[in-house]
Amino acid sequence: MYSPIAPRFPRMIACLVALCAVGLSTDSSPAHAQAGKPEGLYYKSWAVVVGVENYLVAPKVPGALESSHAVAAVLRGLGFDEVIELQDKEASSRRLLQILNDYLPRKVGRQDRVVFFFAGHAGVTQDSQSKDLGFVVPWDAQLNNPAKAISLDQLKEFSRRSASKHILLLFDANLRGWDVTAPQPLSLEGRLSPENDTEKRSVQVLTAAEKEETVGRAPGQSPFVTALVAGLKGAADLNKNGWVMASELAAQVKQDVERETNGAQHPQFIQLEGDGDVILVEGRKELFLLGKEPSTEADRMKEARVQYEQAFALLQQQKSAEEALERLNRAITYDPSFGDAYVLKSYIRLEVLPDLEEALAAARAAVQHAPQNPDSHYSLALALEKKGQYQEAERAMQQALAVNPAYTDVYFSLGILYADRLNEPQKSVDAFRRYLELGGQSERATHAVQGNSAPGEKPAP
């Protein structure tokens, strides 16, 4: 929390301070969680991990058990609350259908996430229009008979019935026949604001190979699972922001599997429903999806402005000051001559997340890169005043007035500086008088001018 020193702040952030006058939390979450919404990303994380190696009637799938154990272990390491492991005869058709059709739909809430992993055989049949109808093969099913299989239609029905906002289906198999559906309308029931990037509904699918390819089988973890586990442990954090999204995982797994199999397998990633992205590893909120690095100078300048505007909006909305600072630092990285970004950074470091040396350095950079912006000089003056360098602060304020002679707030600050720090009472009165002439309404300035008025003289309005 902080208390603003109105009106002693650069005019460019005047509206920001007015909105934040009741205080700005440095936490990125509202003080009171939205109704029906968890404090974090999810209320609960669920996983169903299926590995069928020793089939009742179908051929053996070497490595399926070890692969499923590895996936279950890494998901537990990521903090999944309930990981249901089904190996060999535990993964019967009846048991899988009971979990998908009854258990999970009853248990999973709308603010949960679900990961379903399957290692084993997959099959395909065709309908009357010769369209592929894929299915996974439970322990007690036959390889080329869909009678006891779990079809893609059943998996899609599960995703439609599940209330969870995020579902990721992982198949260490060649599963084909997916139809991508249009994004579904999202319910805002129980929420106080529209969906943001972490709240958008998402059902995504990642398979080990594309149509007609053979999935390599050998003892131990499969290439797909080896890449999957590495990705979930951090290798999939492609933009190095601490977050691992399903789309990032898919890109990393595809690259690793294609390399490991010499191009024999090409993992496929499908957005089955919604336009969100399943979050697998949560990083710092202020670094969430900051976007791809701009490649050209024009793009860098444009992205710097975007990051600056987002930082300003975060402060206006009384959201995370840390995220605002992070975005300003990115803006400055993209455009080191971005004077406004330095001004706003100096303000944050002076009043919101105090660090006087950083505030002073940012203000000096603002003066260097934007000398025709009076806010640059005013920000420097406020930082110098806090540092106790009062003569230098006076010169910086005078420089701000040289750029903008009608800068009301600077006159007010000069009045205080002369009265409280430099022992220049007449200069203080003169500064306060000019402040009042320009429309200022501070009681301190009014009292100072009235107290200095000659008998019969009316103070400035």
Does residue 248 or residue 13 have the better pLDDT? Answer: 248
What residues are paired with 47 via a beta bridge?
83, 115
Average pLDDT of every residue of the chain: 83
What pLDDT does 192 receive? 34
Last residue of one domain, picked from the residues 320, 343, 369 = 369
Question: Looking at the structure, do residues 354 and 226 belong to the same domain, yes or no?
Answer: no
Digit-coded pLDDT (tens) for 48-91: 999 999 999 999 999 999 999 999 999 999 999 999 999 999 99
pLDDT band per the 50, 70, 90 thresholds, residue 31: very low
CATH code, domain carrying 223: 3.40.50.1460
Question: Looking at the structure, do residues 266 and 306 belong to the same domain, yes or no?
Answer: no
pLDDT band per the 50, 70, 90 thresholds, residue 326: confident
Asked whether residue 212 is assigned to any structural domain, the reply reads: yes
What pLDDT does 357 receive? 95
Return the ∠ at Cα 282 (arms to 347 and 188), rounded to 5°.
Answer: 85
Question: Looking at the structure, do residues 298 and 269 belong to the same domain, yes or no?
Answer: no
Digit-coded pLDDT (tens) for 100-115: 999 999 999 888 999 9
Does pLDDT of 28 surpass 60?
A: no
What pLDDT does 186 receive? 37
Domain span at 95 = 45-187+196-281
Last residue of one domain, picked from the residues 353, 369, 385 = 369
If phi > 0 it is left, if psi is from -120 to 50 it is alpha, else beta; for residue 252 that is alpha
Question: Looking at the structure, do residues 305 and 352 belong to the same domain, yes or no?
Answer: yes
Asked whether residue 39 is assigned to any structural domain, the reply reads: no
Tell me the mean pLDDT in the region 135-147. Answer: 90
CATH code, domain carrying 336: 1.25.40
Asked whether residue 292 is assigned to any structural domain, the reply reads: yes
Question: Looking at the structure, do residues 182 and 206 belong to the same domain, yes or no?
Answer: yes
Question: Looking at the structure, do residues 156 and 264 belong to the same domain, yes or no?
Answer: yes
What pLDDT does 211 receive? 76
Rounded CA-CA distance 162/145 in Å is 27
Asked whether residue 456 is assigned to any structural domain, the reply reads: no
Task: Report the predicted TM-score, pTM, of the whole model to 2 decimal places.
Answer: 0.57
What pLDDT does 293 receive? 65
Q: Which residue has the tokens 């402005």?
A: 305
Tell me the mean pLDDT in the region 281-309. Answer: 75
Question: Looking at the structure, do residues 182 and 242 belong to the same domain, yes or no?
Answer: yes
- What does the block give as tokens for 162? 């599940």
Question: Looking at the structure, do residues 138 and 219 belong to the same domain, yes or no?
Answer: yes
- What does the block give as tokens for 134? 């894929």
Does pLDDT of 307 surpass 70?
A: yes
What pLDDT does 39 receive? 57
Question: Looking at the structure, do residues 122 and 254 belong to the same domain, yes or no?
Answer: yes
Question: Looking at the structure, do residues 165 and 307 belong to the same domain, yes or no?
Answer: no
Tell me the mean pLDDT in the region 248-253. Answer: 93
What pLDDT does 12 receive? 52
Last residue of one domain, picked from the residues 238, 254, 281 = 281
What pLDDT does 421 receive? 95
pLDDT band per the 50, 70, 90 thresholds, residue 130: confident
Nearest to 412 by CA among 386, 459, 451, 444: 444
Contact indicator for 286, 323 with CB cutoff of 8 Å: yes
What pLDDT does 428 receive? 94
Domain count of the fold of the chain:
2
Rounded CA-CA distance 43/41 in Å is 7
Digit-coded pLDDT (tens) for 419-431: 999 999 999 999 9
Asked whether residue 458 is assigned to any structural domain, the reply reads: no
Asked whether residue 402 is assigned to any structural domain, the reply reads: no
Asked whether residue 170 is assigned to any structural domain, the reply reads: yes
Tell me the mean pLDDT in the region 123-141. Answer: 84
Question: Looking at the structure, do residues 226 and 140 belong to the same domain, yes or no?
Answer: yes
Question: Looking at the structure, do residues 305 and 346 belong to the same domain, yes or no?
Answer: yes
What pLDDT does 254 receive? 94
Does pLDDT of 184 surpass 60?
A: no
Q: Long-range contacts made by residues 73-78, C-beta under 8 angstroms, separation at least 24?
A: 74/229, 74/232, 74/233, 75/47, 75/49, 75/115, 75/232, 77/233, 78/45, 78/232, 78/280, 78/281
What pLDDT does 246 receive? 92
Phi, psi for residue 134 in degrees, rounded to 5: -80, 160
Q: Which residue has the tokens 């630092």?
A: 329
Asked whether residue 133 is assigned to any structural domain, the reply reads: yes
DSSP 189: T
Tell me the mean pLDDT in the region 343-357. Answer: 93
